[in-house]
Chain A
Amino acid sequence: MVFDKQKVEAKAKDIRVNSLKMIHAANSGHPGGSLSIADILSVLYFGGQLKYDSKNPELNERDILVVSKGHSSPAVYSVLGLAGFFPIEDTISFRQFGSMFQGHIDRMRVPGVEMSTGSLGHGLSNALGVALGAKLDKNPKTVFVILSDGELQEGSNWEAFMAAAHFKADNLIAILDRNRIQLDGWTETTMGLEPIKEKLEAFLWDVQEINGHDVSAINEAISKAKAAKTQKPQFIIANTVKGKGVSFMEDQVAWHGVAPSDEDLTKALQELS
């Protein structure tokens, strides 16, 4: 499949627009971390890196994506809607009573969601389990997990980093949404994470570091990770900007978990158009 950069970028924009509409309609949700992973999700679903069948979500040959940062649900629901798992228009019921689109992603309610997450520090372990299961079955699928940077403060991730290398889970690709901001502020002032690359290398993972908003770079990094013959799990540090694409949200801690007002939304959609 030829990588269609324009299409991937256009879909990333659609993810951002729909995410903001959802959060605005719900008057609740997490815009910052949804905007920061839009390009990564777009490369996976529209750049040909993730094998899926929206009409057959449980297809055995599919790849698996676990989104460990379950609060980025608007971006996840948007990309799944755009990919045809359900009508994208439905996502406007986000976070409302009776909606299938729960505040944090829920696999029992939304086709295409592989694991329910929300409590940070679970997704990597879950993805590792799926990866080990696939290896037992000699199923050639790739298992992706998108991690938030703040969630690396949860110790379970480091248990999982250790275990993934120990079991040579080379079918596992972790992509870190390195937007440098968590709820209380900058990661490095809240609880410093650096040097992430060196830490992961010391945990015996292959590590790449890229611009997480350059869709070509994301695509190449994933291709390289898939092709690696090192028997190591693969880690991609995607340097991102929280709130990417909307000037007044970019790098602003305040936009971690606050809904845009009518005025904010209008302004944001203008910037994204």
Chain B
Amino acid sequence: MLLLLLYSPSTVNIFRMGAAVEIKKGSYKLGEMAATREAYGKALLEVGALDSDVVVLDADLSGSTQTKHFAKAFPDRFFNMGIAENNMMGVAAGLARAGKKPFASSFAMFAAGRAWEFVRNSIAHNHLVVRVCATHAGLTVGEDGASHQIIEDIALMRAIPEMQVLVPADAQEAYQMIYASLDFTKPTYIRLGRAKVPVLFDENYNFEVGKANILTKGNNVTVIACGVMVYRAVEAAKILKEKGISVEVINCASIKPLDVETISKSVAKTKKLITVEEHNVMAGMGDAIASALLENNISGFKFKRMGVQDKFGQSGQALEVLDHYGLAVSDIVLEAEKMNK
């Protein structure tokens, strides 16, 4: 009963072993352009004030990852580890062992790529709750080009036992995710982006680990997307609606654990599935979803994985690079039309 009293409509309380973290909602307007990394920086500053156990590590990219705001406010709890990501992850594990709540940030290429084995052995194998908050993930790092465009991180991170893998679709979701992460009991990879994308969720949205959310209801085809591709899936659905194709768009922010129930129900209904991610189609979200569906006895559906088709990226403006690699709104429309012929 006491717990119920703490509930208010504008907040969601998660209770675990007596600990409660109030997930605050971001003040974003629908359609406003914001990068998920910006929401991360904002939320990090706030949870830093909320919880003195929060510590942040960065590898000389605090200006880019947005940990700079926390660094300025809480210099004692901020560790700039220099350009040395392996040590950063090892130190983050040690800080967690000492009872701290570490957030370790770098570009996704270095956090998930360079430091993979440290995330695996120092953090995950030690069952230490470190939040690896990796920014500049995927093609939308843009101008930096292929060396920085990691399209393998979802695959790398979901392969680690017990590691949670989360990809927020917009600033609101990223913001709530950071609050929620204070209460996590498992190491977690949070994939954040550099590019500004439209805000899709208002303060009525409730992020929850393991839950996918249906953005538009539809009967003809299911489109499941994560990260920056979610707004494009929504755009595509609007166009398809005018063409008489009803699309069920699902935001799959929680890639691991996966919301098999929501996804299964939708695909069982539409019998057509398109997955869209700014990641290599190899071992990404699409593969995770397809495997889960088949294991859940959902079969006989048409299936297309949209993503990077096993190629390296290249320089260009974020959104134009996405377009080039077959991830334009029009590409989603085309695939859905093909499936519905």
Q: Is the CB of B94 within 8 A of A163?
A: no
Binding site of A, secondary structure by majority: helix, strand, loop or mixed?
A: helix
| CB-CB under 8 A for A108 and B97, given A122-B118, A129-B92 | no
**Contact partners of A118 in chain B: CB under 8 A:** 121
Given A125-B90, A156-B86, A159-B86: A133 and B97 within 8 A (CB)? yes
Q: Does B87 interact with chain A (Cβ within 8 Å)?
A: yes
Q: Which residues of chain A from 24 to 57 have a CB within 8 Å of any chain B CB?
A: none
User: Which residue of A121, A126, A166, A167 contacts B93 across the interface (Cβ within 8 Å)?
Assistant: A126
A137-B98 contact in complex given A116-B126, A156-B87, C-beta closer than 8 Å: yes
B250 located at the interface, meaning its Cβ lies under 8 Å from any Cβ of chain A in the complex: no
A131 within 8 A of B: yes
- How many A-B Cβ pairs are below 8 Å? 101
Instruction: Return A67 CB to nearest CB of chain B, in Å.
Output: 13
Contact B97 A163 (CB under 8 A): no
| Interface 1/0 per residue, A107-138 and B, CB below 8 Å | 11000001111110110111111111110110
CA distance A116 to B121 in the complex (A): 8
A155→B94 contact, CB < 8 A: no
Pair B121/A119 contact, Cβ less than 8 Å: yes
Chain A: minimal CB distance from B96 (Å): 7
Q: How far is the CA of A136 from the CA of B48 in the complex (A)?
A: 14
| Interface status of B95 (Cβ within 8 A of chain A) | yes
How would residues 110 to 131 of chain B score, 1 for a CB under 8 Å from any chain A CB and 0 otherwise? 0000000110011001110000
- Does A217 interact with chain B (Cβ within 8 Å)? no
Nearest A-chain residue to B120, judged by Cβ:
A119
User: Is B269 an interface residue when CB atoms closer than 8 A count as contact?
Assistant: no
Contact, CB under 8 Å: A125 / B100: no
A126 touches B125 (CB 8 A): no
Closest to A121 in B: B86
Q: Which residues of B are found within 8 Å of A269, using beta-carbon distances?
A: none
In the complex, chain A residues 191-226 whose Cβ is within 8 Å of any chain B Cβ: none
- Contact call A115/B117, Cβ cutoff below 8 A: no
Residues of A within 8 A of B31 (CB): none
Please, how many angstroms separate the alpha-carbon atoms of A66 and B77 in the complex? 23
Q: In the complex, are the beta carbons of B117 and A119 less than 8 A apart?
A: yes
Contact assessment for B125 and A116 in the assembled complex, using a CB-CB cutoff below 8 Å:
yes
Q: Could you say which residues of chain B place their CB within 8 Å of the CB of A137? A: 98-99
A258 within 8 Å of B (CB atoms): no
Verify A122–B95 contact, CB threshold 8 A: no
Chain B residues in 8 Å Cβ range of A131? 94
B contact face: mostly helix, strand, loop, or mixed? helix
Contact pick for A129, options B77, B97, B127, CB 8 Å: B97
B127 in contact with A108 (CB, 8 Å):
yes
Please name the residue on chain B nearest to A166 by beta carbon: B82
| Interface contact B87-A160, CB-CB below 8 Å | yes
Chain B residues with CB below 8 A from A167, complex form: 79
Would you call B81 an interface residue if the criterion is a C-beta within 8 Å of the partner chain's C-beta atoms?
Answer: yes
**How extensive is the interface on chain A, given as a class?**
20 to 34
CB-CB under 8 A for A125 and B79, given A108-B127, A115-B97, A133-B99: no
Q: How far is the CA of A159 from the CA of B84 in the complex (A)?
A: 6
B residues in contact with A108, CB < 8 Å:
126-127
Q: How far is the CB of A90 from chain B (nearest CB, A)?
A: 22
Please report the C-alpha to C-alpha distance between residue A32 and residue B92 in the assembled complex, in whole angstroms: 31
B96 contact from A114, A129, A160, Cβ within 8 A: A129
Whole-angstrom distance from the CB of A109 to the nearest CB of chain B? 11
Q: Is A162 an interface residue (CB 8 A)?
A: yes
Q: Is there an interface contact between A156 and B118, defined as CB atoms closer than 8 Å?
A: yes
Contact A125 B93 (CB under 8 A): yes
Shortest CB-to-CB span from B281 to chain A, Å, is 30
Q: Tell me the smallest distance from the CB of B186 to a CB of chain A, in Å.
A: 13
Residues of A within 8 A of B81 (CB): 159, 163
Report how far A108 CA is from B121 CA in the complex, Å: 13
Given contacts A118-B121, A136-B98, 20 further A-B contacts (CB under 8 A): A115-B126, A117-B121, A119-B121, A122-B93, A125-B93, A125-B94, A125-B118, A126-B91, A126-B94, A129-B90, A130-B94, A130-B97, A131-B94, A132-B94, A132-B98, A133-B97, A156-B90, A156-B118, A159-B86, A163-B82
Q: List 25 A-B contacts (CB under 8 A).
A: A115-B126, A116-B125, A119-B121, A122-B93, A122-B118, A125-B87, A125-B90, A125-B93, A125-B118, A125-B122, A126-B93, A129-B90, A129-B91, A129-B92, A129-B93, A129-B95, A132-B79, A133-B55, A133-B99, A136-B55, A156-B84, A156-B86, A159-B81, A159-B86, A163-B81
Q: What 5 A-B pairs are tightest by C-beta distance, nearest first?
A: A129-B94, A125-B90, A133-B98, A159-B87, A159-B84
Which residues does A use to contact B, with CB under 8 Å? 66, 107-108, 114-119, 121-122, 124-134, 136-137, 155-156, 159-160, 162-163, 166-167
